[in-house]
Amino acid sequence: MKWEDSGMKAPLARARGLGSAKEGTHHWFMQRVTAIANIPLMLWMVYSIVDLRGAGFVEFTSWLAEPLNAILMILAVISTFYHAMLGAQVVTEDYIHHEGFKMVKLIGQKLFFFGLAIACIFSVLKIAL
């Protein structure tokens, strides 16, 4: 591993590439922003689910076809999946130490969350439009 002391590398050579990428603050800030955005969106969603209790397919689709509900649902999807992607990225960066596997896993995670978000947004738009 890059950071292990093998005795053959100078301390500076071991430390190169392990320092700040100058993106940690932005990542931390965006995770907090999405967490704060998720609070009212999830409160709205819970209220809506409770209010739609016992509703059938037709009632649900007509509810989701209303512009405000469709917009809030799309915002909830974007915020939730972006927040989940940021959290999964932190876990992967902290606990996967093989650089090649880490890179593949990070790319796969981003594609996975992006694909799920697009599928959810498409579903909402299909009902709303």
The DSSP 8-state label assigned to residue 23 in this structure reads -
Tell me, yes or no, whether 14 lies in a domain.
no
pTM of the model: 0.83
Q: What is the mean pLDDT of residues 86-105?
A: 95
Tell me, yes or no, whether 21 lies in a domain.
no
Query: In which band, very low, low, confident or very high, does the pLDDT at 22 lie, cut at 50, 70 and 90?
Result: low
Per-residue pLDDT reduced to its tens digit, 102-115: 999 999 999 999 99
Tell me, yes or no, whether 23 lies in a domain.
no
Cβ atoms of 127 and 77 closer than 8 Å: no
Cβ atoms of 82 and 38 closer than 8 Å: no
Tell me, yes or no, whether 47 lies in a domain.
yes
Identity of residue 126: K
Cβ atoms of 92 and 102 closer than 8 Å: yes
Distance CA 96, CA 106 (A): 10
Tell me, yes or no, whether 17 lies in a domain.
no
- DSSP string spanning 4-72? S--SSS-HHHHHTTSS--S-HHHHHHHHHHHHHHHHHHHHHHHHHHHHTTT--HHHHHHHHHSHHHHHH
pLDDT of residue 10: 72
pLDDT of residue 24: 77
Tell me, yes or no, whether 24 lies in a domain.
no
- Assess whether pLDDT exceeds 70 at residue 21: no
